[in-house]
Structure 1
């Protein structure tokens, strides 16, 4: 049996989880759902920008959790940090949820159809 890989992008974890349930009915071999970002770090610890330490401009304007000074400088250089460009949390497409699936070749086209019908981008 040959296997096929699928990378699909969604706007919310709930959309991806709905597709995951349908793919499990097709006996998916492996499946994961993850949020990704172009900036390093995870989570966000709110702080008072007047009295607290600000790690980077993008920590304030993009809710980015910056883990080191170099990453902070790089992320602050992004046009979205200035407020002149707004790509949303997932960037220009708003899709920051990645569903990764491995399916049998015999159900590959059916899995792609399920993803596309649910609003996923392949």
Structure 2
């Protein structure tokens, strides 16, 4: 049987979970949801005061990144315009940090993509 692999981006995990639920109700079974991002890790998990707080660098504080490879990656990430908060980032696609992956039968591929799009997913 021929299969189609579908990769769809969502803004929130809730949107992706709703799409997953609808896909499962339609009979699709091979579905996975993951968080993806431009930088590795989840960043800091507590409120940090940048004046008196102890944090490893601007990239961790503003980009929600963890940089296990060392300080060079942190410095390079801090040079990104997003780190300063002064960039527009008007591109809607860059904020889709939740990835839904589905493997479906080729003949039902259009049905699956319609379900995903109806829940806000971008194929």
Q: Same fold (TM over 0.5)?
A: yes
Per the TM alignment, residue 63 of structure 1 is displaced from its structure 2 partner at its CA by 3.0
Per the TM alignment, residue 28 of structure 1 is displaced from its structure 2 partner at its CA by 2.1
Residue in structure 2 matched with residue 20 of structure 1 by the alignment: 20
The secondary structure found in structure 2 opposite 1:41 is coil
Within 5 A, what are the aligned runs for 1:64-75?
A: 64-67=65-68, 68-75=70-77
Within the alignment, does 1:35 sit opposite 2:40 as a pair?
A: no
**1:12-42 residue CA offsets vs partner (Å, 9 max, x unmatched):** 1010001101111233241111111111223
The secondary structure found in structure 2 opposite 1:98 is strand
Residue in structure 2 matched with residue 83 of structure 1 by the alignment: 85
**1:35-58 residue CA offsets vs partner (Å, 9 max, x unmatched):** 111112235233343344332212
State the distance in 2 between where 1:8 and 1:37 align: 14
Q: Do 1:34 and 1:97's aligned partners in 2 also have CA atoms closer than 8 Å?
A: yes
**Structure 2: runs of 5+ lacking an equivalent:** none
**1:78-97 residue CA offsets vs partner (Å, 9 max, x unmatched):** 11112211449xx7642111
Structure 1 residues 16 and 58, CA gap change in structure 2 (3 angstroms): same
Considering only aligned residues, what root-mean-square deviation do their CA atoms show, in Å?
2.3
Residue in structure 2 matched with residue 5 of structure 1 by the alignment: 5
State the distance in 1 between where 2:76 and 2:6 align: 31
State the distance in 2 between where 1:52 and 1:66 align: 18
State the distance in 2 between where 1:92 and 1:82 align: 20
Q: Do 1:58 and 1:81's aligned partners in 2 also have CA atoms closer than 8 Å?
A: yes
Residue in structure 2 matched with residue 94 of structure 1 by the alignment: 95
Q: Across the two proteins, how many residue pairs are aligned to each other?
A: 121
